[in-house]
Amino acid sequence: QKEVEQNSGPLSVPEGAIASLNCTYSDRGSQSFFWYRQYSGKSPELIMFIYSNGDKEDGRFTAQLNKASQYVSLLIRDSQPSDSATYLCAVPFEGGYNKLIFGAGTRLAVHP
């Protein structure tokens, strides 16, 4: 099993819908989780980070963490065409926080 797994997509949703992006990780000891957005040809930019079980909301974005099931998800409400990008999940490596392990990313396409 890869350390961080994401469905590569593309995930296609209509404008205004909720986009749900999922990420599973292998290290039960992982404590912090990051979601980055990367537009084509650009560098990743931080969207959300979450440390505790449950939901964390920031504007149209909600991160959900379930440590028991080892998954973290990102919900985007009222999806806009400008949300079309690749979303990367990142998890610190096996208690060694100096290394973030990135998933391969899920490509999201929001169509008008």
Q: Which residues bind other proteins (CB under 8 A)?
A: 31-32, 34, 36, 42-46, 49, 51, 88, 90, 92-93, 96-105
**CB nearer other proteins, residue 4 or residue 76:** 4
Contacting residues for 101 by C-beta, under 8 A, at least 6 apart:
3, 4, 25, 90, 91, 92, 93
| Residues 10, 106: Cα–Cα separation, whole Å | 7
Q: Which helix (H) or strand (E) holds 83?
A: none
**CB nearer other proteins, residue 16 or residue 91:** 91
- Find the shortest distance in angstroms from Cβ 59 to other proteins: 17
- Find the shortest distance in angstroms from Cβ 96 to other proteins: 7
What are the distances in angstroms from CA 89 to CA 11, 76, 112?
A: 15, 14, 26
**CB nearer other proteins, residue 62 or residue 92:** 92
**CB nearer other proteins, residue 40 or residue 69:** 40
Residue 3, token pair as written in the block: 């350390």
- Find the shortest distance in angstroms from Cβ 36 to other proteins: 8
